């Protein structure tokens, strides 16, 4: 039976392969460029320092210079000796690979959530995440090939996913992104590296914490094949002899990387012999660029994930890696901050669902105080921590709400600041804790629930160090519900191995007002 360690082994294999390939290249970078000057007198080094002329260097979108081997040696004025010039090799872009893969993963999950039915959304929003994730992994059935999905999903959709993951790897591989399909070993080695990343990504998509097992819990429950999930629908199947599945099997683990890689090679062939000649003969024709994008949809999406046009091809721009959007973003994020720390003691008010003797589970405004601490990481990026205390927010205790509320969030904010004002937005996960909860009034307990806050803050600056800040926040607090699912796991064809607990997500608007002190 599959276990999460399988993903770890596959990821280690791909990383090992990349490391082996990059190690030999990076060894050349470690050559000491001044080794030939070690024994020279200091005066000679100062007066006779070599001047690089026609050295063959060029810059690449803000990256390190690359040596193109036009001039292999620089003459050093030390008795006619020559010193080999070390070749600076472009490294593998791991950051780009991981960020673009994460963006693709988020795009897939957002699409699934937007098109999901009410039952699937209930599983995502109202069930315990980690316990149901591990339960779903333990129910994987790897004694069969098919998982119950349709042919278009398994044999078209998943290979396209694999091809996109492969192209994401290729466009971050300096040795592979300019390769066109041919018999050369460089091309086939690059596509094998893409296959390894494809394998790692698709395995994570099946069993990882940001994939199908965690989001909607495939494996954790069964449903009849080719039947509606909703009771009362015309095609709802209640016969226990109906074929049913928990959406697990070998098919996606094999088809996605293998057929996805073949799909990638097929689209490379289409590029080489169909779309490229059209674009090369009509370089300014927008219609042919659209045709190129349409004939290669996986590469088009991979391009857009890195800020390029869908029809962009690296082998037509061999000296470029970063897109103009990426270069601008890197420049903004590299600017150093002028200020470093700000403190914001504040009054805080938030509308909460509370319990009183006259009204249970009623929404009322709770008042309190708090402190925000911001640390400038870059000019446009702050790390921020916010702690608030609401005394006696809920006088009467219940299962998950009661007593004094403490909230703490830790995250990031970004925005624009001038000498006189600042406007920033933030997103920070954290926790919310009530001091007296439980169904037994004689022995209340403190609980801890997941919370997350989205904020918009505005500063009015009186001096360089003193100002006033107003913050509008919406905080999500996830608390355990008193409602539980019926006991047992159900009856065929509808079984569920998920937790019987349910959770309620409450959204709470609030405001914070107070001075801000900058250092």
Out of 162-171, 246-255, 486-495, pick the least confident: 486-495
C-alpha 298/C-alpha 302 separation (Å) is: 6
The yes-or-no verdict on residue 69 having pLDDT over 60 is no
C-alpha 290/C-alpha 284 separation (Å) is: 12
| pLDDT score for 330 | 75
Q: What tokens appear for 428 in the block?
A: 């920070």
Q: CB–CB of 89/26 below 8 Å?
A: yes
Q: CB–CB of 357/396 below 8 Å?
A: yes
Q: Counting beta carbons within 10 angstroms of the beta carbon of residue 466, is it exposed (0 to 12), middle (13 to 18) or buried (19 or more)?
A: exposed
The 8-class DSSP code of residue 310 comes to T
Q: What is the pLDDT of residues 384-432, one digit of tens each?
A: 999 999 999 999 888 889 999 999 999 999 998 888 999 999 999 999 9
Mean pLDDT of the chain: 84
Of 59-68, 163-172, 234-243, which has the strongest mean pLDDT? 163-172
Q: What is the pLDDT of residues 126-159, one digit of tens each?
A: 999 999 999 999 999 999 999 999 999 999 999 9
C-alpha 400/C-alpha 388 separation (Å) is: 18
Nearest Cα to Cα of residue 125 among 508, 501, 505: 505
Q: CB–CB of 198/257 below 8 Å?
A: yes
Secondary structure E strands in 143-229: 223-224
Q: What tokens appear for 458 in the block?
A: 């505005």
C-alpha 321/C-alpha 64 separation (Å) is: 11
> What are the DSSP calls for 487-513, one per residue?
SS-EETTEEB-S-S--EEEEEEEEEEE
pLDDT cut 70: percent of the chain above it: 80
Residue 133: strand, helix, or coil: helix
Beta bridge partners of 245: 223
- Mean pLDDT confidence for 86-106: 90
Q: What tokens appear for 4 in the block?
A: 């999460």
> Quick one: pLDDT band at residue 270, thresholds 50, 70, 90?
very high
Q: What is the pLDDT of residues 337-348, one digit of tens each?
A: 677 899 999 999
The structure's pTM equals 0.77
- Dihedral pair phi/psi, residue 316, rounded to 5°: -90, -10
Domains plus CATH for the chain? 4-84 (no CATH), 94-326 (no CATH), 341-518 (2.40.160.20)
Q: CB–CB of 382/411 below 8 Å?
A: no
- Mean pLDDT confidence for 274-295: 94
- Residue 488: which region, alpha, beta or left (left: phi > 0; alpha: psi -120 to 50)? left
Q: What tokens appear for 71 in the block?
A: 């001039």
> Quick one: pLDDT band at residue 58, thresholds 50, 70, 90?
very low
């Amino acid at each position: 039976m599959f276990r999460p360690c399988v993903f770890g082994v596959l990821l280690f294999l791909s990383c090992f392969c990349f490391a082996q390939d990059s190690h030999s290249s990076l060894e050349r970078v470690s050559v000491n460029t001044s080794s030939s000057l070690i024994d020279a007198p200091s005066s000679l080094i100062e007066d006779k320092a070599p001047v690089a002329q026609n050295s063959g260097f060029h810059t690449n979108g803000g990256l390190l210079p690359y040596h193109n081997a036009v001039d292999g040696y620089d003459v050093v004025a030390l008795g006619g000796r020559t010193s080999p010039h070390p070749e600076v090799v472009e490294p593998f872009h791991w950051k780009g690979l991981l960020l673009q893969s994460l963006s693709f993963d988020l795009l897939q999950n957002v699409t699934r959530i937007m098109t999901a039915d009410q039952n699937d959304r209930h599983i995502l929003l109202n069930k315990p995440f980690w316990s149901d994730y591990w339960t779903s992994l333990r129910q994987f059935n790897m004694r069969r090939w098919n998982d119950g999905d349709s042919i278009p999903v398994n044999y078209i959709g998943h290979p396209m996913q694999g091809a996109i993951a492969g192209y994401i790897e290729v466009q971050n591989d300096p040795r592979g992104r300019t390769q066109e399909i041919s018999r050369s070993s460089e091309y086939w080695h690059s596509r094998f590296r893409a296959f390894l990343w494809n394998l790692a990504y698709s395995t994570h998509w099946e069993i990882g914490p940001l994939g199908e097992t965690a989001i909607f819990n495939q494996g954790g429950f069964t449903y009849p094949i080719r039947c509606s999930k909703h009771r009362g629908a015309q095609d709802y199947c209640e016969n226990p002899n109906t074929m049913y599945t928990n959406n697990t099997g070998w098919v996606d683990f094999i088809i996605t990387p293998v057929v996805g890689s073949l799909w990638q090679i097929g689209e490379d062939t289409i590029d080489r012999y169909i779309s490229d000649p059209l674009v090369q003969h009509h370089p300014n024709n927008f219609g042919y660029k659209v045709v190129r994008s349409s004939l290669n949809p996986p590469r088009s999406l991979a391009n857009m994930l890195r800020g390029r046009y869908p029809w962009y091809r690296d082998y037509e721009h061999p000296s470029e890696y970063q897109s103009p959007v990426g270069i601008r973003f890197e420049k903004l994020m590299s600017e150093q901050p002028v200020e470093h720390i700000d403190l914001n003691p504040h009054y805080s008010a938030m509308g909460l669902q509370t319990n009183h003797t006259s009204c249970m589970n009623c929404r009322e405004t709770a008042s309190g105080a708090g402190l925000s601490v911001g640390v400038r990481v870059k000019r446009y990026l702050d790390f921020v921590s916010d702690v608030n205390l609401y005394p006696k927010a809920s006088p009467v205790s219940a299962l998950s709400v009661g007593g004094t509320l403490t909230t703490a969030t830790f995250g990031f904010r970004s925005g624009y600041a001038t000498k006189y004002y600042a406007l920033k937005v933030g997103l920070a996960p954290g926790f919310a804790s009530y001091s007296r909860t439980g169904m037994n009034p004689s022995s209340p307990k403190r609980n801890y629930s997941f919370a997350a806050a989205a904020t918009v803050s505005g500063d009015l600056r009186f001096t360089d160090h003193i100002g006033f800040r107003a913050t509008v926040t919406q905080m999500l607090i996830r608390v355990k519900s008193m409602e539980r699912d019926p006991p047992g796991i159900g009856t065929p064809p509808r079984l569920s191995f998920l937790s019987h607990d349910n959770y309620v997500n409450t959204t709470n608007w609030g405001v914070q007002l107070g001075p801000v002190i900058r250092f």
